[in-house]
Copies of this chain bind each other. A is one copy, B any other.
Amino acid sequence: MTVTLADVAARAQVSPATVSRVLNGNYPVATSTRERVLRAVDELDYVLNGPASSLAAATSDLVGILVNDIADPFFGIMAAAIQSEIGGPGGRAGGERLGVVCNTGGSPERELTYLTLLQRQRAAAVVLTGGAVEDTAHASAVSAKLRKLAEAGTKVVLCGRPPAPEAAEAIALTFDNRGGGQQLTEHLIGLGHRRLGYIAGPQERTTTRHRLEGHRDALAAHGIEDDPRWTVYGRYDRRSGYEATLELLRRDPSLTAVVAANDTVALGACAALRDSGLRIPDDVSVAGFDDLPFSIDAVPALTTVRLPLSEAGARAGRIAMGREEPPPGGIATVRGELMVRGSSGGPRL
């Protein structure tokens, strides 16, 4: 029923081995022979059997990209960049690789499941994006998995994720969340703010912790006591920002600025402030993080920290494909850039 390599060989009057060689292009074949084979492939409408090929070669053309939330542009932008570097030629059969993104939904179990599935498929590479969960048991389970993947020849790259201490084989491009958070809060302090609310992300995430630490570093550097009432934990979504802001306002109506864990949360914060009859930035300044495309369209435009998601993703993709040297030591820190816009201003008197 289905056309096999042998059929192509018969039609082209060569041996299966030869067909395999022209298809994989990893071995010298006479031009005339190649053309004959290619013609046969075309005439027969032959499609390589991936599993068979992967089985024999003990490696596949699959490249996995794990993201926490595919509906969040933060991950979408990185994934698109990674995939664009993977899609191109460079794979084994016919030169195409299959970059596939897997949505973990932020769940440690699903992350592990996907990793196993990818391991099962003998993936050529795996790129994990975004913050990690800080649960110890899970973290070491993931590290162990990554180590095994690496041992089996799968390249492992972390993008926008802190290095895995127990899996040194994994190359890491880490975002400087701490530094970014610090810059942002420094900016607000510089404007005169002294009472700043902070809406953090989920408690057990590295990204959450690092951004918050940066914020606190800035406060400490300026001798501002960090009132515990000023920090609220939530999720990385708009709703969470909305609710957390109301909560912050309830706890301390005298706040003059709200720093959000990311832009999406900041948008929710803006909505809550507006609904509370407060003007931005006249009454309360707001800041986000990431500089997603919509942030510039907020009214007023959002002050935030731009992360070079696309660039980092592209680099991660290239490293995963072995087309770029990994950074020295296997770890590189990617810095963010403070974007001062209309949502931040001096505090009300």
| Chain A interface (Cβ < 8 Å from any Cβ of B) | 2, 45, 47-55, 60-62, 64, 69-73, 75-77, 79-80, 83-84, 87, 93, 96, 98-103, 105, 110, 113-114, 116-122, 148, 152, 237-238, 264, 267-268, 270-271, 274, 293-294, 296-299
Contacts and interface: CB of A to CB of B under 8 A. Distances in A.
Contacts of A267: 294, 297
Contacts of A294: 238, 264, 267, 294
Nearest to A55: B51
A282 to B, nearest CB: 15
B47 A51 contact: no
B79 A120 contact: no
A114 B102 contact: no
Contact of A70 (B80, B120, B264, B297): B80
6 contacts: A51-B53, A73-B73, A73-B76, A79-B103, A98-B121, A101-B103
B120 A48 contact: yes
A268 B296 CA distance: 10
Contacts of A101: 70, 100-103
A151 B119 CA distance: 29
Nearest to A99: B102
